[in-house]
Amino acid sequence: MNQSPFYQFSSPAKLNLFLHIVGRRSDGYHQLETLFQFIDRCDQLQISITDSPAINLLTPIEGVTKEDNLIFKAAKLLQNQTRCQQGAEIKINKILPMGGGLGGGSSNAATVLMALNILWKCQLSLNELTKLGVSLGADVPVFIYGFSAFAQGIGEKLTVKTPKEYWYLVSKPECSISTAEIFTHKDLPRNTPRLSTTEIELKNCHNDCQTLVIKHYPKVANLLSWLLEYAPSRMTGTGACIFTQFNSKAEALLIQSKLPSEVQSFVAKGINESPLLKELKALRDTTKLFK
């Protein structure tokens, strides 16, 4: 089997700076309004293309079958859609927590779609990739888009935004939360009024999942209450991760040092452009795949 060198790509986390659920479609999908911002905390994917059509994951994720892994599903989806006869070998250095609301799996899927689109010479447009992405998950399109954005619909209608790039302390208590569990819960609010303008005042926004989660997950409730004593804090997505906003890295590190030992945490900078975009541009420039 012939294969290319391994190419490395970033797969960043995201924060939902707010999350409003404004309705529910007949197919069960929720209609959202949210503001996505990336942070400079990333999984790293390494991809090598092969002349065999097999998709091999060289670093399986514990507790996730190959068929359920969004990395594998994204590669197979692109392969089937474009009838590509090549395959890939894929490794991941997974540092983003699962079940945290940071979009790690969706980000991994988007990185695979974007990278293999170039490496396999599929030449799908951004819109075509986005349509594939949304079939894998509502958060995938923003990672394909690559810019912080106000999202509507089920997450696929994106408008570029440039929220202030704060420093964040991201904390995760000892629990993981199923997105499906939260979005199917009978007590989840589903009728928040739509924003009347795309000029967003974050102080007037909230996370519709947060009240439900803290009611059923006391570890999230206790951590959020503790963090609010120090700085503005909010849950991202369906949790369990909470982001706390600071003007400087030093402030964030100081509060991190006070966290209980059982809480996972890291400090990261908000960024309004995904690092993947520059990596993909460099790949196109160096490999000259599109002439």
Q: How far apart are CA 107 and CA 275, in angstroms?
A: 12
What is the C-alpha radius of gyration for the chain, rounded to an integer number of angstroms? 19
Active site residue 121: no
Q: How far apart are CA 288 and CA 283, in angstroms?
A: 8
**110: three-class secondary structure by DSSP:** helix
CA 161 from chain centre, in angstroms, equals 17
Alpha-helical regions (H) of 120-173: 126-136, 140-145
* 86 CB neighbour count, 10 Å cutoff: 20
Active site residue 215: no
Structure tokens at 203: 């102080």
Cβ pair 175, 203 in contact under 8 A = no
Name the active-site residue from 43, 73, 139, 161. 139
Cβ pair 249, 269 in contact under 8 A = yes
Nearest CA to 144 out of 14, 278, 274 is that of 274
Structure tokens at 243: 């982001």
Q: Is the peptide bond before 13 cis (omega within 30 degrees of 0)?
A: no
**14: three-class secondary structure by DSSP:** strand
Q: Give the pairing type, strands 264-271 and 87-93.
A: unpaired
Active site members: 14, 139
